[in-house]
């Protein structure tokens, strides 16, 4: 069901992009929009993972430089039936993590030093299992493509504002229509991107619980890091808000308009869903969804 919903939302996003192109230049504009989308997605397919890792200052680690963390990823990858991904650590006090890569054979997972310091080993395993579930579900490619198309819609709408208007007789909108399009098209694209991201997060939570075998450890991790992420600023994410949807928890502080519409489901709802999954799996430990204050005494991260 989630796969079908994601496919429909991606089709809607692509349709919106083509519609903007048509409104700006009729058939020719739609064709140019299609070529732009194709070109940008090809570039993103081959290069987005490297760009995102570089944006967030991630450094690659191996068995010698981070033995415990590397071994954890190797064990979880085997349980998930995945090839061993590249492993990165970001020198960042905010606890968070993400996965990237165009397919499981070219995947990478990254965690912040803040996450490795704050969480227990079981909680770290739950978080990284969540990220490996994204890799297994090929969410990393889906979210790269949606971010690329959403960004292209904004760019195309701004292009129409600069060069459209009543000077072009083929333009069915006119100046007022173009102004409305500049505002509404990126907003609609953002809402569709947000819906896709939220759908994939719930799926990765379930997949992470299955891979790690400890849904309540993942729930406990979400409870801790959701509050910490609101209090600890992530400068790299603030500078690159288009990458926020990739993280397990929204890394934006909320001080910018970029955080007006969150790309992540409410942590409390995710924890409640993980509690239901835990009941299905026979795990009954409770988790306090109060994120930060209740977790202060548990600052027992082993690898920071």
Residue 238 among the catalytic residues: no
CA distances from residue 222 to 69, 73, 78, 274, 290 in whole angstroms, order as listed: 19, 19, 24, 10, 10
Name the least confident of 151-155, 270-274, 292-296. 292-296
Provide the percentage of residues in the chain whose pLDDT is more than 70: 64
Pairing assessment for the beta strands 108-112 and 58-61 based on DSSP bridges: unpaired
Does position 296 have pLDDT exceeding 50, yes or no?
no
Q: Using the structure block, give the residue that is written with the tokens 């809402």.
A: 191
pLDDT, position 44 = 72
Count other Cβ atoms within 10 Å, centred on residue 232.
19
Average of per-residue pLDDT across 3-17:
65
CA distances from residue 136 to 72, 98, 125, 293 in whole angstroms, order as listed: 17, 13, 16, 34
Q: What is the pLDDT of residues 94-133, one digit of tens each?
A: 999 999 998 999 999 999 999 999 999 999 999 999 999 9
Q: What is the pLDDT of residues 13-48, one digit of tens each?
A: 677 667 777 666 667 766 776 777 677 767 777 877
Q: Which residues pair with residue 108 across a beta bridge?
A: 86, 100
Note if the pTM is more than 0.85.
no
Q: What is the pLDDT of residues 144-194, one digit of tens each?
A: 777 677 666 766 666 665 555 444 545 555 555 556 666 666 666 666 666
Please identify which of the residues 131, 210, 238, 280 carries the catalytic annotation.
131
CA torsion 220-226-228-231 (nearest 10°) is -160
Burial of 162 (C-beta count, 10 Å sphere; 0-12/13-18/19+): exposed
Average of per-residue pLDDT across 79-101:
96
Q: What are phi and psi of 275, to 5 degrees?
A: -65, -40
Does position 207 have pLDDT exceeding 50, yes or no?
yes
């Amino acid at each position: 069901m989630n796969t079908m919903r994601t496919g429909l939302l991606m089709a809607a996003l692509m349709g919106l992009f083509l519609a903007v192109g048509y409104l700006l230049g009729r058939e020719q504009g739609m064709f140019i929009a299609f070529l732009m989308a194709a070109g940008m997605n090809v570039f993103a397919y081959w290069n987005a993972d490297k760009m995102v890792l570089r944006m967030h200052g991630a450094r690659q680690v191996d068995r010698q430089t981070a033995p415990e963390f590397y071994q954890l990823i190797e064990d979880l990858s085997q349980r998930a039936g995945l090839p061993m991904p590249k492993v990165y650590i970001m020198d960042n006090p905010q606890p968070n993590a993400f996965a990237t890569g165009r397919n499981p054979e070219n995947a990478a997972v990254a965690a912040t030093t803040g996450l490795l310091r704050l969480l227990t080993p079981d909680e770290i395993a739950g978080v990284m299992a969540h990220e490996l579930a994204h890799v297994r579900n090929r969410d990393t490619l889906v979210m790269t493509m949606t971010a690329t198309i959403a960004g292209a819609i904004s760019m195309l709408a701004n292009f129409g504002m600069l060069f459209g208007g009543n000077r072009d007789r083929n333009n069915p909108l006119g100046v007022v229509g173009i102004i409305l399009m500049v505002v509404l098209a990126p907003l609609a694209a953002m809402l569709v991107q947000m819906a896709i991201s939220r759908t994939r997060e719930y799926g990765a939570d379930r997949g992470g619980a299955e891979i790690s075998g400890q849904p309540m450890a993942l729930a406990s991790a979400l409870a801790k890091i959701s509050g910490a992420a609101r209090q600890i600023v992530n400068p790299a994410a603030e500078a690159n808000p288009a990458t926020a949807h990739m993280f397990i928890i929204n890394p934006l502080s909320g001080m910018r308009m970029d955080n007006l519409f969150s790309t992540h489901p409410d942590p409390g709802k995710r924890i409640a869903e993980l509690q239901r999954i835990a009941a299905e799996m026979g795990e009954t430990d409770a988790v306090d969804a109060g994120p930060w204050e209740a977790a202060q005494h548990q600052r027992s991260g082993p690898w920071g």
